[in-house]
A and B are shown apart, each in its own frame.
Chain A
Amino acid sequence: MAASGDEIFFATIPELNARIASKQISAEELARAFAFRLEQLGPRYNALALPLRELAASQAKAVDKDLKLGRKHGALQGIPYGVKDLLSLAGKPTTWGAKPYAAQVFDYNATVLDKLEAAGAVLAGKLAMVELAGGGGYRYASASLTGPGLNPWDLGRWAGGSSSGSAAAVAAGLVAFAIGSETSGSILTPASFCGVTALRPTYGLVSRYGAMALSWTLDKVGPFARTAEDCGLVLHAIASGDAKDPGSAGKSFYYAPQYARPIKELRIGYAAADFSERADASARPAFAAALGVLKEAGAQLFETKLPAFPYDEILDTILAAEQGAIFEPLIASGRVEELADKAQIAGLKASLAVTAKDYLKAMRIRRTIQTAFSGVFAGLDALIAPATDGPATPLDQPMIPLPGAPPEVSSPAAGLSGLVTAGNLAGLPALALPCGFAGGLPVALQVVGAPFSENLLLGIGKEFQSRTDWHRRRPPA
């Protein structure tokens, strides 16, 4: 447990609201405290891409002025946060975590940053990420301009990727919430590894204008926070239609926990094998206990399985085709060689070989996947599974085999093992919920629902977190 006296850095958004409202602390004091802490401790986890102490102080002063005049902007007013260095902030470097873009500066803000500023949130810094969000396929955690994302629970372990800094900064109490992104697993994996709550929104619910494009049809932007409720409050502020994002669904999101359906009414699909066979042995007790909590809460659990599709191959084909088109100028210029990870360089180059026929076939199958999931959610309200099979991996553990090495033999197919990939292909929302520990490291559940069912997922999360305290655990000081 962290030393006493730093509770404020681990407070939820409503708790911080109460402190500001009661004048225990001003927005400026809070911003300076968080920005200083982020600047001091961020490098310990390789989580900080760019400190923004002066900007934070300036934004917080404006918040204090508004509050003095009685201008209320909602729950995020005066709340310090960080943003993955994949979103542009006018006039400041936006590196995408990659050396070839280390000096890149845009003259406009990402829509999400404008919306958070309008809500009164205070930007304390930009957060580290895997280079180019890892689309080429990276072998090592060190695939980043800022070095490997270190896990606050164990500095010898990875924070997960590609939103490494977003997850680590929330876990270590360096920001109250953070913004990350997911193409396939980049929110859920680091949230699970770092023990924080996070939400991957439905595709199109949150604008990606000003965010690096890795895959136009897969990229999503979403929050990392302390609780499901905090994620709801952040999503409320950042979700909306945006004419500047061609993928925008044109919808807003109103966080409405008061209308959440009771968990006893919900039909939740799961696969026992995920919890008893596929999960790492060390994590099985935590996952079993989490299932027990849901059962005790009255959730109706039904054994289920995913529609049968080669999800990984379809996603790999679509991602390769789109990232190949996006990063073709980088590859053609030769500057792709400046990336930190050899496998990532090779993966990007290889992606140029995907044909239009391959891409269109994958996108046609994707249509049938969406239809199949409509059928799944006709009978079920949500699916649950481990967010990752086990806890954070050691820093030096390769994620893909070395060239020439025999292929890895995975454990037998079981349960909902393709849910992360399938959910991303179908554009489904997912909530990561810390649910226990394995060998002293956090693990998490993922709760996945139909498109635009975020309130339902957040309701399940809130109920789960009212019965557990895993989300309130803090890494060693």
Chain B
Amino acid sequence: MTLKITRRKLAVALAGPAAAALAQPRTPASGPGDELTAARDRLAMATGEVARQEVPMATEPAFQFKA
């Protein structure tokens, strides 16, 4: 698994209010708190993008997933 910042995530971020913050180069840090914040930010970007998707109301989740 890799959790790179993807083009889509980047595009979403740059299109939104986080653009200014992301455009600012920041000094890398490696404390556990920073790691957790970064991980939460990455996940928040992912769930944010998922939330923006439109799905027909009748679409059921892939519970009991089958290929």
Contacts and interface: CB of A to CB of B under 8 A. Distances in A.
A405 interface: yes
A427 B1 contact: no
A343 B35 contact: yes
A134 interface: yes
B39 A367 contact: no
Given A203-B67, A316-B46, A347-B39, A364 B1 contact: no
B65 A217 contact: yes
A368 B59 contact: yes
B29 interface: yes
Nearest to B36: A346
A452 B67 contact: yes
A109 to B, nearest CB: 25
B15 interface: no
A204 B13 CA distance: 36
Interface residues of B, number: 47
Interface stretch (A62-70, A182-190, A439-447, A467-475): A182-190
A410 B6 CA distance: 7
A365 B13 contact: no
A427 B29 contact: no
Contact of B61 (A247, A353, A367): A367
A358 B66 CA distance: 20
A310 B8 contact: yes
B20 interface: no
A408 B56 CA distance: 33
A407 B66 CA distance: 35
Contacts of A426: 67
Given A313-B49, A346-B32, A351 B43 contact: yes
Contacts of A368: 55-56, 59
A370 B3 contact: no
A426 B62 CA distance: 10
A400 to B, nearest CB: 5
Contacts of B40: 350, 353
Contacts of B62: 217, 363-364, 366-367, 370
Contact of B4 (A203, A247, A346, A399): A399
Nearest to B11: A413
B8 to A, nearest CB: 5
A455 B34 CA distance: 48
Contacts of A354: 43, 47
A358 B7 contact: no
A403 B7 contact: no
A396 B40 CA distance: 24
Contacts of B39: 136-137, 343, 346-347, 349-350
Contacts of A362: 50
Contacts of B35: 342-343, 345-346, 403
29 contacts: A137-B1, A137-B2, A137-B3, A162-B1, A183-B1, A202-B67, A203-B66, A217-B65, A247-B65, A309-B53, A313-B8, A316-B46, A317-B43, A350-B40, A350-B43, A357-B51, A366-B61, A366-B62, A368-B55, A368-B56, A400-B3, A403-B38, A404-B26, A406-B25, A408-B5, A410-B10, A413-B7, A413-B8, A428-B67
